[in-house]
Structure formats: structure tokens, C-alpha cells
Amino acid sequence: MSKHVAVLMGGWSAERDVSLRSGEACARAAESVGYRVSRVDVGHDIAEVLTRLRPDVALNALHGRPGEDGTIQGILEILRIPYTHSGVLASALAMDKAQAKIILAAHGVPVPEGRVVTRAEAAREHVLPRPYVLKPVSEGSSVGVFIVREDQEHPPQELHRPDWTHGDLLLAERYIPGLELTCAVMGGEALDVIEIQSAVRFYDYEAKYAPGGSVHILPARILPNVYQKVRMLAVKAHGALGCRGISRSDFRYDDRTGDESGLVCLEVNTQPGMTETSLVPELAAHAGHSFGELVRWMVEDASLDR
């Protein structure tokens, strides 16, 4: 009898639309390899829905809160339903960019210089020497991210908006020029490294999810020693936060240095996107895994928190 897989998608975060696309892609792939699938658009009654469905496995395709911050993981722990990706603590740590940076730095993973500021501070005056980056402490998919350029006289005016929904704490970081790189870890092993060239201002939400928004170069055009350093740091970051299953670490590389010293880790994603333009399926395919095989691996790897 085939496993019954509940694909959790949607939710109510700013990344709802992307999650629905990830979830539907995973649901179709799971069906194609023989699983019985229930598509679940997650609402506040999720515990009741899962109690009624009683799936063998929950395939977590949620992005942002509550699916990526440890909340849904805690519900699944209580219901004793094995689930994909990282557990409660690792998810909560990775979602909080400021706390994740502390952990990563303590484990020898280089991170950008910066500090946590309030939205009011960031809206009132420049909080770091320009250029710098402002990002919500707990959002993903580059939602609410700003690059403040050298010639930008005032902070981003969007920070004054009354309908701002990305929290009152922001992470201000020194802007790192150079290349955008990413590497996935699957079962504790690093896959390859993608270089991302954005077709818009920077690798923002539009570049990540709009067709033609970015160009992915695989393998990345960097020196072999830098390439292997990215892979090593991705595994180290995965382990430092206690991730399991699949994670994806994003890096900036100041290639003017000509060596590994130009690398910094921006963040670790415990719930990487699984859309048609997403990076992890592309990395898995490069390693010889079809999308169906990738989803099967995720389902079979699912467990309760370890």
C-alpha cells in the first residue's frame, strides 16, 4: 500500500503564492512516483485537518510563517506525523536571521558585518555607512529587502508605509559586491554551486520567481578552491543550525579578492523553493536526480525531530 502524503502549502505568509506553486509541483511529483497525495492549503485549523487526514508523512512546502519558523513543525511533533525538512529548533533559528548569524559565526561560517535595528531607526536615518542592505529579520524570498546605494540620500521611503507587514526589526548589513552563489545540502552532502545573475536590480522576489528574472549558471564560474569552499561552508552551516533533509545556503562572493576570503554566508533556507524556477530542483537534476526522485527522497527521509 502506497504512503499517504499530505503536501502542506499556501498558508498566510507573504510567500503564500510561491508556496502554492511549490506545493502543487511537489504534489504532482509525489503522485508520479506512486504516493497517495492530499493537497492541504494550510489554515488556522491545520491540526484538526491533519488529525482527520492522518497522513503517513507531511511534505512541508510552506514558506515563511508558520511553516518555516518551527510552528508547523511543533504541531506535527505533537500529532506524531513524520515531516520533511528541518525540525523545530533548526527551523526557528534559521528563520531568525540575526540569531542564525550568531550561530553561524560561532561555528566558523563567515557572515556579513551588521546589526539589528528597528524599522523606525532605519526609516529615520542611515544606520550603516552606504552601501548597505536592509532586510526583515524573519522573512524569506527577499521580501522587504532593500539595497541602499552610495548615492541614496535618504533611507527607503517604503519603511514609512502604514501597511508595512514585515515586522519592526530589520537586519542592516554591509553590502557585499560581487557574485551571488547558492549551494544545497541533501542528506548532509553538498550538491553543486549555482551562480545567479539577476535580470533586475538585484536578486529579489521578482528575480527569484518570475520567468526570465534571473540566469542560473551551473556550475558557478569561480575558482575550484572557492567552489569547494562554498560547498564546505554550506555543509557546515547546515550542521551548525541542526538542519536535516534539504537546506540551501546563499552566499555573496567578492571576487575582487581572488581567493576564499571574499565569501560570506547570507542565510540558510530550511524550506527551499520547489517551483519550476527554483534552485534546489536544478541542483538535484545536475546531480542526476529527477524531480520525482527528489520528492521521493524527501518523503522517505521524513521523520520526527531528532
Q: Where are the domains of the chain?
A: 4-84, 94-111+177-270, 114-174
> Looking at residue 160, what is its pLDDT?
84
278 is catalytic: yes
Q: Which CATH architecture has domain 94-111+177-270?
A: 2-Layer Sandwich (3.30)
Q: Residue ranges of the chain with pLDDT lower than 70?
A: 1, 139-142, 199-213, 306
pLDDT of residue 97: 92
Question: What is the rounded CA–CA span in Å between residue 80 and residue 303?
Answer: 9
**Per the annotation, does 282 bind a ligand?**
no
269 is in an annotated binding site: yes
Three-state SS at 235: helix
pLDDT of residue 205: 44
Of the candidates 13, 15, 195, 282, the residue annotated as catalytic is 15
pLDDT value, residue 140: 57
Specify the 3-state DSSP secondary structure of 83. Answer: strand
* 45 assigned to a ligand binding site: no
> Would you call 142 a catalytic residue per the annotation?
no
Pick the CATH number of 114-174 from 3.30.1490, 1.10.1660, 1.25.40, 1.10.3470: 3.30.1490
Query: Does the annotation count 15 as an active-site position?
Result: yes
Which member of 13, 91, 142, 278 is catalytic? Answer: 278
pLDDT at 162: 85
User: Which parts of the chain fold into alpha helices (H)?
Assistant: 16-32, 46-53, 71-79, 88-95, 97-106, 119-124, 205-209, 224-240, 279-286, 291-301
In this structure, which CATH number among 3.40.50.10680, 3.40.50.20, 3.40.50.2030, 3.40.50.10420 belongs to the domain 4-84?
Answer: 3.40.50.20
Measured from the Cβ of residue 193, the count of other Cβ atoms closer than 10 Å reads: 25
Convert the pLDDT of each residue in 12-46 to its tens digit: 988 899 999 999 999 999 999 999 999 999 999 99
